Amino acid sequence: MKKIGLDAGHGLYTAGKQTPDGIKEWSLNDDVCDIITDILSSYDCEIIRTDKDEGYTDEPLSQRVDRYINAGVSAFVSIHHNAYTGSWNSATGVEVYTDRSPTAADERLAKDIYDRLVMYTGLKGRGIKRANFQIINQNKIPAVLCEGGFMDGTFDYKIITSNIGKRGYARAVAEGLIEFLELKKKESEPLEVIYQVWEDVKARWLPDVEGKKDHAGNFKNAICCVRANLTRGNIYYKVHIKGTKTQKARWLPEVKNREDYAGNYNQPIDAVAFYTDTGKTLCYEAHEKKSGRWLPTVTGYNTSDSRNGYAGNFGNEIDAIRVYFK
Ligand SMILES: [Zn+2]
């Protein structure tokens, strides 16, 4: 897996590095780094932050350089925002820097980011430049420094402090890195439902079950409660209490993931209903205690649709369920 060095320039308390109205450059840089990290999280790479991601210390530049070299990163990007006079002015535009004697890789990385930076921020392109910045002044690892607009420029300020502007900056860097390093999307995690039931008689939660591998429940012992989650996305579910002389038969409130469980201890249920926001078909089945059989598979979620809106027959306790993606 490729490693990427990412750096939010300066520290929160570095004197002078701020907008005229006091927004710290580090925090703008950090916001952009966080979005870059987020975008790249679905790619096959690891981000190494050279500024430790906390801002309290302005780590010395030599320490930052050592960190990314020692980590063995494949590329390094330092995120900055520019300043001209420190008071409001009309300076505007973005720049990407290499060191004074760039390698071909430095120049390619700079270009991969720069073209997008101009496009995505909508700010004036001031060019790819060379400078003796210590943070990128080594030729072992492709490294660039980005200036994403002027903190004291009245026009740039509006862009760089907005979510859209920060996202544009971050996207430019992330996509530039994706192209430069030829990063590939991670194989997405398998989608699975994990669920368990609370069993009457023995009055306990049974172990989690994953999808189709098993069912949750012990035949002959009615179940009272259900708890479920997905490996990604959200699952919503509810249970129907069978009802007794003292307890009215009814649907209990919907539960999302493991924020709660659906059901009441010691009150057997006779129906369940599930749905997810994954866009994939979720199938579920209830096992009837009395008849000892699995009821038909249900894929819908509608408590007034007894055919495909929930699993169960009112009045007949269920002692097991099965929930899985098709
Ligand atoms: Zn800076």
Contact criterion met (CB below 8 Å) for 96 and 26? no
- Centre of ligand 1 to C-alpha 225, Å, is 56
For the chain, what are the domain ranges?
2-181, 193-325
How much is the pLDDT for 244?
86
Residue 42: count of CB within 10 angstroms of its CB: 11
Closest CA to 109 of 87, 142, 137: 142
Give the pLDDT of residue 42. 87
Mean pLDDT of all residues in 27-55? 94
pLDDT of residue 187: 72
Mean pLDDT value of segment 97-111: 97
Q: What is the distance in A from the centroid of ligand 1 to the CA of 285?
A: 59
CA 28 – ligand 1 centroid, Å: 10
- Mean per-residue pLDDT, 289-303: 97
Question: What is the 100 CA–ligand 1 centroid distance (Å)?
Answer: 18
What is the arithmetic mean of pLDDT over 211-220? Answer: 96
CA 261 to centroid of ligand 1, rounded, Å: 50
Expressed in angstroms and rounded, the spacing between residue 138 Cα and the centre of ligand 1 is 19
Separation CA 207–CA 157 (nearest Å): 55
- Ligand 1 center to residue 140 CA distance, Å? 23
Burial class (CB in 10 A: 0-12, 13-18, 19+), 3: middle
CA–CA distance from 290 to each of 57, 160, 270 (Å)? 67, 66, 11
Phi-psi region of 122 (alpha: psi -120 to 50; beta: other; left: phi over 0): left
pLDDT, tens digit (0-9, with 9 covering 90-100), for 253-273: 999 999 999 999 999 999 999
Q: Which of 103-107, 181-185, 189-193, 318-322 has the lowest average pLDDT?
A: 189-193
Q: Measured between alpha carbons, how far is 32 from 172 in angstroms, rounded to an integer?
A: 10
Going from the Cα of 322 to the center of ligand 1, the distance in angstroms, rounded, reads 56
* CB contact set of 274 (below 8 Å; sequence gap of 6+): 228, 235, 236, 237, 282, 284, 301, 323
* More confident position, 42 or 325: 325
pLDDT at 127: 98
Ligand 1 center from residue 35 Cα (angstroms)? 18
Per-residue pLDDT at 236: 97
How much distance in Å is there from the Cα of 8 to the middle of ligand 1? 8
Query: In the numeric block, which tokens belong to residue 47?
Result: 């981000």
| Stretch 219-247: mean pLDDT | 94
| Average pLDDT taken over every residue of the chain | 95
Q: What is the pLDDT of residue 186?
A: 82
| Cα–ligand 1 centroid distance for 147 (angstroms) | 7
Q: How far is the CA of 179 from the centre of ligand 1 (A)?
A: 25
Mean pLDDT value of segment 67-91: 97
> How far is C-alpha 302 from the geometric centre of its chain's CA atoms?
30
Q: How remote is the CA of residue 80 from the centroid of ligand 1, in Å?
A: 4
Confidence of residue 199 (pLDDT cuts 50, 70, 90): very high
Spacing, Cα 9 to ligand 1 middle (Å): 5
Q: How many residues does the chain have?
A: 326
Fold classified for 2-181: Aminopeptidase (3.40.630)
Would you give the distance in Å from CA 324 to the centre of its chain?
24
CA distance 82 to 160: 10
Q: What's the rounded Cα separation, in Å, for the pair 321 and 238?
A: 13
Examine the pLDDT at 189 and tell me if it is beyond 70: no
The share of the chain scoring above pLDDT 70, in percent, equals 99
Residues 6+ apart with CB under 8 A from 73: 3, 4, 5, 48, 141
CA of 79 to the centre of ligand 1 (A): 8
Q: Which two tokens stand for residue 88?
A: 């409001």
Neighbours of 307 (CB within 10 A): 9
Q: Give residue 245's pLDDT.
A: 86
Q: How many Å lie between the centroid of ligand 1 and the Cα of residue 149? A: 10
- Global pTM? 0.61
Average pLDDT of span 89-106: 97
Ligand 1 center from residue 146 Cα (angstroms): 9
